[in-house]
Amino acid sequence: MNSPIDKKLDDVALKQFVWKNQCLLAACLLIARKAIESPIFWPDEIKFPFLTSDDDRNLIGSAWRQCSKTLGIVEKTGLFRRSSSEDANGRTIFQYKLVDGPVAQAFLKRHGVEKTLADLNPQLSLL
């Protein structure tokens, strides 16, 4: 069952999809690609150069939520640390891991990113 907080976050994500869908989609694609390239990674390893205003930066949290809760591409490993990103002001971030490579690959391909899992990370093709 969804909590009131989950419902509120889902409502925010829906509004962002309606009004800023290209930025949110681009952020999700970067997260999916990073997950395939490095199956265990930290969020501050990804740069979002197209997010220029503070309003746009709020999309990053929604993108992580979409990739973990909705798409099921990534999940938290349980490890955390302070972010090394200058914009993060030392906030706590969680490490993520790839949990569904085929879905990540299909998501990228559906949106025009043609590289396969083996192209992005040859070690995954051995699995």
pLDDT at 84 (0 to 100): 87
In terms of residue numbers, what domain contains 111?
4-126
d(CA 25, CA 104): 13
d(CA 22, CA 44): 21
d(CA 28, CA 65): 9
> Would you give per-residue pLDDT tens digits along the chain (127 residues)?
467 756 665 666 666 565 567 788 888 999 999 999 999 999 999 988 887 776 677 788 889 988 998 889 999 999 999 988 877 778 899 999 999 999 998 889 888 886 554 555 454 444 3
Please count the structural domains in the chain.
1
Angle CA(5)–CA(99)–CA(80) in degrees, nearest 5? 60
Contact 34, 41 (CB under 8 A): yes
Nearest Cα to Cα of residue 68 among 96, 107, 110, 101: 96
Going through 1-127 in order, the beta strands assigned E by DSSP cover 40-41, 74-82, 92-98
**Residue 64 CB-half CA count within 13 A:** 17
pTM recorded for the entire structure: 0.77
Contact 73, 35 (CB under 8 A): yes
